[in-house]
A and B are shown apart, each in its own frame.
Chain A
């Protein structure tokens, strides 16, 4: 028993402890629900192969949470380096999707049904979409890093303008690409949902970059103390700029995935409110929105936690209109549990307990 407590004490100090506990809680809610409903208790964890693709609630969460997870990667860097958030990511997603579809279909064309109707190879359109998102990131980064404009104000520009530019590009219409070759990014790859594979690839790329370069240390150093970083030879302008570009590029990737899911450029709805999920994911992951130290794994777990909550809601039969209320309640609980005040309270109790023990031991 004692060893279990010791183990718990040790584990609870790890930075990922609380994000993981949140995920665990959501799982437990699912288990309890299934038990009450008289379903197979582990219904939630069950997945099966149907028509050559994986199905199941957990697969669904991993699939649907892909965009938020991809956005969370870039958002983590932006938050860490500039102590601010990029609120334009959702709009930039839609802009990337719109540009991609417009280039593929040609300006003014609303439907593409044959490969021959494409104006250019699909991968060129996709890369152009991601590139324009990167440019948006560069613009945001320039305003924040060089012009010293507050991140939220700087990114507000594309937050409002991104969708409008998208509508301009698509001539105010929905542009459909009815091609399997395009649908694949939001469809399935072998038996896996492609968005999940893309998200995994993005995470892997970022993890490798953080592991093999000193970008992580630079970003954190700039986020914690830009003046000291400069004296130590770090170009904080370049680092912050880079973070916004990376964030933009990932928004582009997420935008292509979201566009491919509905095989159409829907400027008004793609990535709608996703910037908030991405920011929340970073916070749920135990990262301070005040910048500084970051934990990428935490942000990604945070992104999937949000999706898990949403999926659970629907599984529980909560009406779509009411779901945000319950979602808010769960988010409040998770955030409060991770808050400094609660942490301080537990640390205080622990200190008192240990102090008491020490005194008792001496007498």
Chain B
């Protein structure tokens, strides 16, 4: 590995109204390394990246590129690209309806001598590129035909082909399953060996240790330090991010929590939704945390959505507290004391242009109906209560929710449901894309809810997290519930059922 510095950021300062987002942050990237940028939500990771790519305009500091340390300052992502800095985000910023080849060469299409697009050359170059990077796709197919993982790889391929020296991957693995992550890592390693410097932003600690060479940790907009991966074991990394020692790996569930009431709250028989989830039976007891696990797309979200009425159940019967009920729309489920925190926070969770208060009040208000407006004093009281209770970091109750960090937005939605005092809460990936500290807080909250006699469906991609919080796991595969695990919950036993083979 060569140790030539290709990117150096020095003394970057950046203020948002009322917040010092970055103060005097240094960052160094060498060629041929994968460099993790770590920190909790609001630590300044995204802001630093945005300063580098020209999305944000920083106030003070300098950026140097290349071995000759050429000073640069980007004002747009386009300018950043010209300077050899490419970014691939969690949400792929390509055109789904264009072909793979078109996406690869959009804006820089090879031309014929008449000035029209040379499709043949474009296809050939696209095939070559895909072959070189070992991505197996048909370049003439529309991009939307491929999984998010492949789309991301194609986005990376595009960046690489534009002769980028610095590649920024911002949370690329959030919506990938383990297999896909492994493929992505393989590609990252190959690019590293070619001398490209990769900045890897992620929340998954395991992934950092699997693929990175070096770690830079930020906390509250300040640089904590830059470490070689071998010098910074997991616990120390967490400690550096949190600024304190941390009980990340300890169990939060005590033995008494294992005991579950006999009272059945939800009794689903043969519920299904065509093409999404095959008929399943599920009963949930009072005060129980039941985990739904399986690979991405296995139907774990769909099962929960079917119970809640987000996707209306087309067959089967549902009994709530022993009474048979029909749920046509989410409001029916809410009247029965249910709540759903959807997995896609941005698309189905937050209402981004409404304030923190309005977002928290939304479910409670819709239960009350349009005519019975909850009085302002009561709204403020409830909002303030949950801001304190969940430690939501917001400048005021009237701040637009889109201005909060991801973890705090998630807490706002949790507050929205807790405000309705539900008996049964479905949490679909509540900890995705949020920092370790908040993750543990949410896990503790789930166990607490169960202690209060509420039932919870907990869905997560991280088996470890499920093992810490759930009493029972239901396993799904290919849109079908294939088994339940109550005893002997361990990583291996769960993996075995997910992977398939025997039913248990």
Contacts and interface: CB of A to CB of B under 8 A. Distances in A.
Interface string B326-354: 00011100100000101000011111111
A305 B180 CA distance: 58
A359 B351 CA distance: 37
Contacts of B371: 213
A231 B367 CA distance: 12
A214 B370 contact: yes
Given A220-B354, A293-B353, A351 B329 contact: no
Contacts of A228: 342, 347-351
Given A348-B57, A359-B60, A213 B373 contact: yes
Contact of B358 (A215, A217, A233): A217
Given A225-B350, A228-B348, A228-B351, A214 B374 contact: yes
A232 interface: yes
A12 interface: no
B307 interface: no
Contact of A235 (B60, B331, B367): B331
A229 B370 contact: no
Contacts of A230: 310, 329-330
B226 to A, nearest CB: 25
Interface residues of B, number: 33
Contacts of B367: 233
B35 interface: no
B373 A214 contact: yes
Contact of A225 (B351, B363, B365, B366): B351
A346 B340 CA distance: 41
A251 interface: no
B344 to A, nearest CB: 9
B340 A231 contact: yes
Contacts of A94: none
A352 B13 CA distance: 12
A187 interface: no
Given A217-B358, A217-B365, A359-B60, A231 B348 contact: yes
A291 B350 CA distance: 16
A232 B412 CA distance: 13
A227 interface: yes
Given A230-B330, A351-B57, A358-B15, A224 B370 contact: no
25 contacts: A213-B370, A213-B371, A213-B372, A214-B365, A214-B368, A217-B358, A217-B365, A218-B365, A220-B351, A221-B358, A224-B351, A225-B348, A225-B351, A228-B347, A228-B349, A230-B329, A230-B330, A231-B348, A232-B330, A293-B354, A355-B15, A355-B59, A355-B60, A358-B15, A358-B59
Interface of A: 212-215, 217-218, 220-221, 224-225, 227-235, 292-293, 348, 351-352, 354-355, 358-359
